[in-house]
Each structure stands twice: as C-alpha cells, then as structure tokens.
Amino acid sequence: MTMLDLNNKTILVTGCCGFIATNFIEMVVHEYPTCKIWAIDKNMNKNMQVWDNSSNVTYWEACVEEIEIFDVCVYMKYNGNIDYIFNFAAESHVDNSINSAKDFLSNYSSTMNLLDIVVHLSEIGKPSQMVQISTDEVYGHHTDMGTTSVEDSPLCPRNPYSASKAGCDLLVESYVQTHDIDVLVTRCTNNFGKYQFSEKFIPTIINSLKSNNNIPVYGTGQNVREWIDVRDHNKSILDILTNHKRGVYNVYGGTPKTNLELISDILEVYNTLSDDDLPKTIKKDVKFVADRKGHDMIYSITSKRYNRSFDLTPYEESLEDLVKYNMKNETVDN
C-alpha cells in the first residue's frame, strides 16, 4: 500500500496550533514540499514557530465555527480547490470540560460548520474530502484488560469532552448519509510527542522533574492508556486515506501503560541522561491527588477496518526522544 501523496494538493488544517495538528503540518511540510496548506486556529502560540517560516503555509486566525462559506469560496477563487480538510480543532482537556462543559459545545458547532462547507463545495462541483479527528474516549472505558472496542462498538462517553466528540462523530455520519459527501472519522489512542500542551500528563511529569517537584497523579495511578507516537498517528491518517473515503477507523497504539508505569518509564529515560541535562537535585516522589470525577479506568481499542501498512516507532525510542526534547525545550501553554 502506498501512503496518500499530498504533493501538488491543497489542504485545510483546523486547530493548526494544537499538539497533533502542529506535528501533522510539520510532517506535511517536510514530506510533501509542493503541498499548499491553509492553516486555521483561533489561538496563536509558539507552536506556530514549527511551520511559520514555510512559504507553503498560509495562516488564518479565526474560530472554525465562525468561518463563512463565502470566505472559503473566495479563497478557492484565487488559490484553487481544497482537496482535503483535516479537522483537528477541538477543546480537548477533560478537566476543563468537567469544570465548564458549555465551552465544549464549540467542538460540535465547529464540526457542523466544516460539514456545511463540504456540502456546499460538493454542490458547486468542487468536492473536498474531510477527515474528522476523533478519539478512543468516545467508547467510554473498560474495567479489565481483557476487553477492547472496535469501530462498531457502542459509544459510551463518560465526560463532557468525550461526549462532545461522540456528538461530532454522529453528526458526521448524519451528513454523510443525508448529503452523500466523503467524510471519514479516525479515533486514536493517547498521543505523545513534541509540542504537547503543559496541562497534559506527560508534559506534567517532565516539567515536575525539571522543576524538582513531586509528580501529581490522580487516584491510585492505576488508570491505563494506550500510547502512540503522534508522528505515527499522523502517518496513519494518510495511510487510511489511501484506500478509504467514508466510515470510522480506529488508530490503535498497542502500548498500554498505567500512569505509574508511564512515570517509571520516563524516570528510566531521565536517569540515562548526562548530568548536564539534569537539575542538580532530583525529587522523584509521586504525589497522589484527589481523583478526577468519573475518571475512566482503561482505554483499549483495536480495528476491524484498518490494517496499518507501516511499522510503528518503538515506544521506548519515541519516549526517549521526547524526554530529551522536553528537557531542553519549554512546553506550550494552551
């Protein structure tokens, strides 16, 4: 199988300053030098430095839910068709969704707006294929390691964030059935890699080590997540697009870790670094804090529809690269 070639294509990437999208754009800029990228985000941050100097990237500071179909048509008049739309835009921090669920309604309205744009482009004879970047969290959780979710498993979100993403997935399906447009959904396990926001768990661990603070852990630290290098996630998106136009596709990671195991793995890498890379004193204690409301226990997915055509980067290699990178670079505030 040959991965989708984006050379000489024009793509629209929403949420371009976010963690996964930043890595996606970096991949496209390096691997597909003749691809034109229209990048949209409401928040400018230092992630823009990754691709801001590329002549192939045009940045539009805007809320995705407020983009006008007219503006897209004007863009296409002067820049040609948009071949693919990648919707990475989403409020994604579970704690924030618990504290203020209404802020996550924008996930639904943003997706609806993009779908309306895809419908309009199809009606005027300039169809675009859209990818909705979802999450394995829409399936809810499992309570033992012997169970897993596949693409046709019931949706059972257990917090406002995952509920908003499940709603987006259902909205996509309704538009596909109603308007006969080409939109697919990818649901991936937990990502890790460069440019992740400081509020997330792995940056929190590394920043705690850098600042010589205890590492905060919810509950007992036995919650399990499957991990995948963000670069492999983004390659999987193009891999899926090679032969598929519609439907839901799980992007599985295959490396399950409890939160305490993940901390141990990071410490193992940390201890191999040279003294010049480390603070003089290291506090490696875990500080257990009150558990998150409705904290999902285990995420586990496999796929009935997607057979990956490439080998994943070994977890240990990816984690070592990330720890070394984050020791020398500040994480990003959302």
Q: Which residue has the tokens 């675009």?
A: 128
Question: Catalytic residue at 161?
Answer: yes
218 is catalytic: no
Annotated catalytic residue, options 136, 239, 265, 320: 136
- DSSP codes of every residue in 164-185: HHHHHHHHHHHHHHHH---EEE
* Residue of 84, 108, 161, 299 marked catalytic: 161
Burial class (CB in 10 A: 0-12, 13-18, 19+), 244: middle
Q: Alpha-carbon dihedral of residues 286, 288, 292, 298, nearest 10 degrees?
A: 60
Measure the CA–CA gap between 87 and 89, rounded to whole angstroms. 6
C-beta neighbour count of 224 within 10 angstroms: 19
Q: 144: exposed, middle or buried (C-beta count within 10 Å: 0-12, 13-18, 19+)?
A: exposed
Q: Calculate the alpha carbon distances from 285 to 187, 265, 295 in Å.
A: 34, 14, 22
Nearest to 229 by CA among 138, 322, 124: 322
The terminus-to-terminus CA distance of the chain in angstroms comes to: 37
CB 165 within 8 A of CB 90: yes
Q: Is 5 a catalytic residue?
A: no
CA 319 to chain centre: 17
Which member of 91, 137, 265, 296 is catalytic? Answer: 137
Alpha-carbon distance 94 to 82, whole Å?
Answer: 32
CA distances from 86 to 4, 118, 240, 310 (A): 14, 12, 13, 21
SS3 call for 96 = helix
Nearest by Cα to 28 from 42, 47, 15, 9: 9
- Residues labelled as active-site residues: 136-137, 161
